[in-house]
Structure 1
Amino acid sequence: MCEANVYIDNYDGKGEILYLENVDVIRPEDGKLFIKNLFGEQKFFDGQIKEISLIKHKIILTKRQTT
């Protein structure tokens, strides 16, 4: 299997928190990230990809910075 877990970095000052497990699709859609896992669960995240580790099956996202 090639799925990964998605984490949000520095969410409310808590470090990395798990956002969605067993993710197999991430794509940009309407200025956000569409994320879908193997079980059909879908989420949209307003942010960007910070890091992808294929060896660790881990994707780290960061919230979009507002100015």
Structure 2
Amino acid sequence: MCEANAYLIKESGEEELVFENVDRVLPGEEGIMMEDIFGKRKLLRARIKEMALVDHKIILEAL
């Protein structure tokens, strides 16, 4: 599989898994809309900090 998992950086610096099997990432004014391989969507008030595609990771920071 080529899907990534999305992680939100906590205040402690730890990565918290917030969404699995991400297929689409749609940035917008209110944050990041993600959609998984099953069509489920999640909107997070965050911005992309880093994308590590070889590791299948999307790292987000809260707005």
TM-score, normalisation: structure 1:
0.83
Q: Moved runs in structure 1, 4+ residues, more than 4 A?
A: none
What's the RMSD between the two structures over aligned residues? 1.4
Matched, 1:27 2:26: yes
User: What number of residue pairs does the alignment pair up?
Assistant: 63
Partner of 1:56, secondary structure, is: coil
Q: Percent identity?
A: 40
Instruction: Give the structure with higher Rg (CA).
Output: 1
Please state whether the residue corresponding to 2:2 is helix, strand or coil. Answer: coil
Q: Residue type matched to 2:7 in 1?
A: Y
Any gaps of 5 or more consecutive residues in structure 1?
none
Structure 2 alignment gaps of length 5 or more: none
Could you say what secondary structure the match of 2:17 adopts?
A: strand
Structure with the higher fraction of residues in helix conformation: 1
Residue matched to 1:40: 39
